[in-house]
Chain A
Amino acid sequence: MRLTLSLMVALLAAGVLAGVSSAGEITDTIKRESSVIKCTVTEETYERVAYRSVGVTGEVKQCEVIGIEWGDRSSDFIAAETSRLRGTLDDALAKYERALKNPLGRRFYVEPYCLYYIGICNQRLGDLSEAEQSLLKVVNGHKKAKFFPHANIALGEICLVRGQFTKAAEYFTVVANSVDPDTGRPIFCTDLTYRAKVGNAAALIGTKSYGKALSDLGTLIAELDAIDPGMAADARLLKAEALVKDRKVEEGTKAYAELIDKSIKAMNGGDEEARLNMLIARCYNGLGDAHLLGNGEERQSEALMEYLRVVAVFGPNVEFEYARALAGAAMCFDAIGQKDRAKELVGELKSSYPKYPGIEQLNIK
């Protein structure tokens, strides 16, 4: 749409372009599944969004809100969101930092939003210490903010990567077990509660409490199948991992294979593709690990082919899983005497993922 100069001037005068009403009030847009509310948001917590519209106050449950378009957001904030959604994370990171310092935007949403996404971008870029610092600021400084549960979950995930399973469980528990004392219902939105529960199961696997993890996952899968098939698949993946680690290799392998088949069938080029790719990649890597635990003579070669599926089919699109597969395949190549290939993969891993855990120990002689 091209705006003529005079129309732009008129709109600016009316404050519409800047998200400011003629009365000087900020106009935010709360988006819900089936409607939008043009109003001025006065408070946003993980429970509710309070607003004022034409002198009347109201509130919406946070779980019903798809998103809020803030009327007074700065250009840095907009640019940061765009960069994040496009996946250019380093760019997004710099812009969130700028948005945080930009005086535009009300602090009650700018600070937790920016801090949370600075944490998430850093997490995805593999800089866990930086991520942790930002997320801790959300958890400690914005205890009522929308992103408080999200930040707890992200911190739990970071701890999982670092192998700090007990600490991870503490973060997940904050979200998974919080209930309203009056109603007895979970305080946080259902999807977050389940994400935390799945995270908790992963922490249990980390602490080798396989029996408890498998039993929790069984319950979770049954519940999630009905409400969130995507998360149910994540729980199935964890179950397969738990089985393998509990030395029930055959059962675990079967669980992985079933999940792969199901996921391939579900692929139709839609929005789910990226998630399914990641899931399948994790399954193949899990299968690789499972083969290595077996006793067969060909276990290295079998594991190699699984890791290579991730390397050859998905490539860097699956981020950490790709790095994991590079490391796994390199070790297998090394074990079967194909040193040059092993060195080549280690070289790629070191140059592309220099912070991959345990990378220093990966030396092919």
Chain B
Amino acid sequence: MKNLILSILIAAAAVLPANALSKSAWEARFFRGLLQRNYSDLAGKVLAGIEAMPGEPAEKAAACVEMARGYIEAAEAAASEPLEVQQEYLAIADKQLKSATTVSPEIVKDLVYMIEAANLGQRRASILASRIAQLPDADKEKVFRETDAMFIEVEKQWEKTIVLARNVADKAYQTPGKTESELADIIDEALMKVAEYELREALCHYAHIELYDHKPNDPKRRTLVEATLSKLAQVIYASEDSSLCLYAYYYSGKIYKKDKNWPKAVEFFKKALEVPRQIQIAEVINLTRFEYSDVLAKDEKFKDAIDVLTPLIPKVKPGAIDLQARAMLQQATAKFAWAADLRNKSGGGPPPAAMMQQYQEAITMCQAVIAANPKWEGTAQAIIAEWSSKITDSEDPTVLLSEGSRLYRDRKYKDAAKVYQKVLANVKVNDKYRTQGGFFLAMSYYHSGMFYEAALVSDYLATRFDPEKQSYAQKAIVLSISSSKKQFDATKSKFDRRLYLRLCERIGEEASSIIEAQELAGKGKYDDALKMLAAIKPTSKVYDQVLFNTAQIVDARSGEFFKQRENIRGWHERIKALELYKSFIDWAAANPPKGDRQRLRQDNECRAIQRLGSLLLDAKMESYLRKNVAAAGRDKGQLEEAVKLAARAMCQKPPKRAPANADEANAQITVITGAAQKAFLKISADIRSRYTEAPDLHPYIVMLRIVAAGRVGNAESAAADVTQLKDFPEFQGTADAFGRVAIIFDTRARQLDGELEQLEKQRENEKKPELDEQIVKARAASEEAYSKALAFFVEMLGIDPTLETIDEKQRFDMFHYVILLQYRRGVEISVDDKIQLINTFLEQSADENAADKVEKIEGIRLILAEYLTKTNKLDDARQVFEELSARYEKDFEERRKKDPRAPTYARHWQVRHGLASTLKALGLYEDSLRDFNLIWRSVPAGSDTWWRASYEMYTCWMEMKAYDKAVNFIRTIHQTRPTLGGRDMKNNFLMLLTRIQSLPDDQLVGVDHERLLTLIDDIRKETK
């Protein structure tokens, strides 16, 4: 930070007026700029030019001083590099200053020279001071003395500079021929210079104090501190209306902070922030905020420490991203410190809620920084790790569970497992926390692929804790069976089979049958699944589960019918499912759950209600019912049937009076629908009254609001609602909800695209300039809607699939669609993020072998290859292209065996073209040429693909310097197809031909010059 401030001061000096700049001084500025950018090689060229420039000695000396300044700045900028680098820069600066005195000895009396000489000395002393800590003890004292002497020397130099500046100020009084007001301006300016050098001397003292930080008890340190503070006070007094006083306040604050005098430090930092706006310097104000916040946090004024940084947060403008990140991380640190403080003050008791809040907010802030600016990830993670260990080193289960939950959400399952393990292992912790920790420990194992461990832990929970009292113990039963099944599937070992069967036995034959039925349904064997469930008698303990699962399976089967485009059957099946859900809810109301099934029942009932609600609110369902009415036409009997179907679909009684016509039938449907929604609300209210400890229904209600918002296209309301679901990590349906919100935005974006298209057509036809404005707005709105849709889709896909209600097919299709959408519309999404999403998709779809899915996966792999090429990961791209190419070749061969006239597909050539282009980018021109040639020979001549291949072949020859082949190739094509693929392509060919023509003769072996010139002339004439 010190370096930054010094740089600001030096930079400020650099823009001081330079009267009548000489050419060499101007070039020296350029030289300095290049050095600042670390372009030493280019700076060297400029330096050579400056040295060769003619000029007066004074001008040349001034240029040398300017260059010395450049090297001193370069040393400043290289503060993080090895000291040798900095010293080298300073040595050159020294040389430049000496050259200045050689060229013009008088320059030593010049203020500009004196300042740079002092800067040089100060920088050298600071470097030496920074080395002391690393030196062996024996050398420390010696170097300390040397450095101390250097600082004293530099301070003397500054004193001389100040005396000289004062003399200039004194002389200003005697400037002849000036009016009083002009004279006052001149004197003010001269005095301001004096104040500036005094500030610089004070900063030198400050660096000197840092040297004495190695000897905190040395009386000289105290003397130095007092001298510096007094000097800074002098600057403040002399420069109240200039930015100098801002620096003086800032450094005074820093000195007090060094001495842990918090109240005084606060006083000065506060004053710095209160300087009038016109003299504020953003960099110094920002630095002050950081220092001030740090002091406030140390003084345990955490809220103030956070607030003082708040003005830096919303400044999301170019160049402010890092500043914002730093400010947020420092705020997060203050929040962590606050949490730790609250924990200490709780005296070993349970952690207060306020502590958890600060802790969570701090973590959220760190995560926000990482999301916005990944380069800060390391720092943010280090802060989280440091403070989490400080705060969570206790055995406190709430803290540990919270930390575990964060890691679990971030999919760091192995780290999460370590934390959850602590909770489960601690017998002093109550059962509620232990089962929760244990359940998520098992889940973490499950997601890490450690199924055996997951099965053991969940079995432990299911057998050692009371499932009637602990919901997680109950959930663990199913998890233990799923995990052992996965383990058995993976190993096929006898031991794992025994484990699986033993766990199934424990829950009883009927419960096992339910799990098996669920698996059958998952594989699409709906009839078998339903048969298995039907065999379980109503007297069974698990009958409630049978009813619920039956409804779910029929529901899933309806979906399957829709996918197969058997819509009528689909609708009837869906109506049946709806009735089954309703029956289950009615049955559940009449048959209260027994002991250990209470929680499971609640869970199932809530899910049934949620599904019932979404079906009742489903716009497609209503539209289907009304279509039935329309299809019935005037036939009264059919109209009555349509209304009866609507009543069934809405779980209502049909009206007593048969409809007289279609209008009446529609009116009756409206009444039925309204009654259904009211009935649904009653059911939701009823479940709350039936279960005194009912799980929170809020997420289900939120879900319904989203469904309702979707019907009217109110994306904003749905977006606001869906975020609430994040507070319910156990709610199965969050992914579904995010998907729905994404679809609402996506639908809106498509509508906007339609409007945009209309507007563009209108503008083209009517040439109305005012339409431009509307088009710009529509385009922006469409982009915004797509980008929101994408954000929600990606969020949806990030939710753990094993915890969700969305089936695999839906998920696959959604994933596929999102990747395509990102490809077409995700202009603001980085290619690396897109690649990451594709890799996740490919990982999750690795076992897919259905033909339609394989086709889609390959399409996505083609996009992946394109992204890899874009990000210059050419070897990876080549591998993907080669695999795809081999697969299409094989497919083509197989098809051709069956039908010799079988065509190749466009994608086949797309892949081949991609492969050839990648080979070309890798410099493998011969291989690339071979592939382009294959395309050229295979696709219809004159097609776009053919022309592109022609051009690429031509460029390959150019790269291979086979100019004769390139020219002959174009000449042949030109003879048969003089259009050369259209104007643009023709210009490209012409440009390259002209390039060949301009090459030296020795490179043009085999090229017929005359023919080449004729060809160029012909093409030129045609292009004109």
A-side residues, CB < 8 A to B, are: 82, 86, 90, 129, 132-133, 136, 167, 264-265, 267-270, 305, 308-309, 311-313, 315-316, 341, 351-354, 360, 363, 365
Contact = CB atoms under 8 A, between A and B. Distances in A.
B932 to A, nearest CB: 20
Contacts of B52: none
A312 B70 CA distance: 12
5 contacts: A309-B33, A311-B33, A312-B34, A313-B33, A315-B33
A267 B39 contact: no
B33 A267 contact: no
Contacts of B780: 129
Contacts of B358: none
Contacts of A354: 318
Given A268-B19, A269-B19, A311-B33, A133 B773 contact: yes
A27 B648 CA distance: 78
B872 interface: yes
B634 interface: no
B21 A313 contact: no
B822 to A, nearest CB: 16
A79 B33 CA distance: 36
A115 B321 CA distance: 29
B11 to A, nearest CB: 9
B318 A365 contact: no
B18 interface: yes
A305 B277 CA distance: 38
B26 interface: yes
Nearest to B282: A88
Given A313-B29, A354-B318, A86 B16 contact: no
B568 interface: no
A300 to B, nearest CB: 13
A265 B20 CA distance: 6
Interface of B: 16-21, 23, 26, 29-30, 32-34, 36-37, 39, 42, 45, 277-278, 317-319, 321, 769, 773, 776, 780, 827, 870, 872
**Closest 7 pairs between A and B when the two form their complex, measured CB to CB:** A269-B17, A312-B33, A352-B318, A365-B872, A313-B33, A312-B34, A352-B319
A308 B34 contact: yes
B321 A351 contact: yes
A312 B20 CA distance: 21
B71 to A, nearest CB: 15
Nearest to B32: A312
Nearest to B871: A365
A292 to B, nearest CB: 15
A82 B280 CA distance: 14
Contacts of B17: 268-270
Contacts of A315: 33
Q: Which of B23, B30, B32, B776 has the most CB of A within 10 A?
A: B30
Contacts, number: 60
Q: Which of A86, A270, A365 has the most CB of B within 10 A?
A: A365
Contact of B36 (A312, A316, A352): A312
Given A308-B42, A352-B318, A353-B318, A264 B21 contact: yes
A341 B34 CA distance: 12
Nearest to A348: B319
A150 B321 CA distance: 34
Contacts of A82: 277
Contact of A129 (B30, B32, B39, B776): B776
Contact of B39 (A86, A308, A363): A308
B34 A269 contact: no
A267 B872 contact: no
A267 B18 contact: yes
A228 to B, nearest CB: 23
A363 B769 CA distance: 34
Nearest to B315: A90
Given A360-B827, A363-B870, A269 B18 contact: yes
A85 to B, nearest CB: 10
Contact of A311 (B19, B37, B773): B37
Contacts of A312: 30, 32-34, 36-37, 39
A356 B1012 CA distance: 41
A313 B43 CA distance: 12
Contact of B21 (A267, A309, A316, A351): A267
A248 B278 CA distance: 47
A90 B18 contact: no
A86 B18 CA distance: 23
Nearest to A353: B318
A311 B278 CA distance: 27
B8 to A, nearest CB: 13
A295 B17 CA distance: 39
A269 B36 contact: no
Nearest to B874: A365
B29 A86 contact: no
A86 B33 contact: no
B30 A313 contact: yes
A264 B42 CA distance: 22
A270 B26 CA distance: 17
Nearest to A136: B773
A133 B196 CA distance: 46
A86 B827 contact: no
A305 B16 CA distance: 25
B16 A269 contact: yes
Given A133-B773, A313-B30, A365-B872, A268 B319 contact: no
Contacts of A341: 39
B617 to A, nearest CB: 39
B834 to A, nearest CB: 14
Nearest to A269: B17
Given A86-B277, A268-B17, A354-B318, 6 more contacts: A133-B773, A267-B21, A270-B17, A308-B39, A313-B29, A360-B827
